[in-house]
Amino acid sequence: MMSNLLAEATRLDAPEELTVRGEFKELLREYCTSRIRAMEPAELTMGKPWTEDGRTMFTISGLQEFLRQRHFTKYNRAQIQEQLKQMNGDKECHGKKNIPKPDGSRYQVRVWWIPAFVEDDVELNVKEIENDVPF
């Protein structure tokens, strides 16, 4: 009886935003585009994301801390790295970023990156109303 029900069942795919992967991508977008973004590359060491040349770079520990603060603990470090790789079309998505010091020397920070999110500007049409009395 049960196998008949399963054979006749209709499979419905959940929208991505209702999946764990969708939740991760939504939080990653928030991390990369929110006001906590770095104003200069040196802030990568403070766990802030830095965007340049069409890429948003960050330390994995900075991303994990952001996710922990949002109570997202569904992915471990390896699973996060796998998601980042998929978002980069399975291409290389980590390396080192040279950061200049005030004295002119440089140091390196290990970073991960994803393609920069495109800011979605919302345009609202405003309709003027003549003789609009505010009270």
Q: Give the pLDDT score at 14.
A: 73
pLDDT digits (tens, 9 = 90+) for 46-95: 999 999 999 999 999 999 999 999 999 999 999 999 999 999 999 989 99
Would you report the helix, strand and coil content of the chain in percent, each value rounded to 5? 40, 20, 45
Q: Give the pLDDT score at 58.
A: 97
pLDDT digits (tens, 9 = 90+) for 6-57: 677 777 777 777 899 999 999 999 999 998 899 999 999 999 999 999 999 9
Q: Give the pLDDT score at 132.
A: 62
Please name the residue that has the structure tokens 């003027």.
Answer: 128
Q: 111 has which bridge partners?
A: 95
Give the DSSP letter of residue 15.
P
Q: What is the pTM of this model?
A: 0.76
Separation CA 10–CA 16 (nearest Å): 18
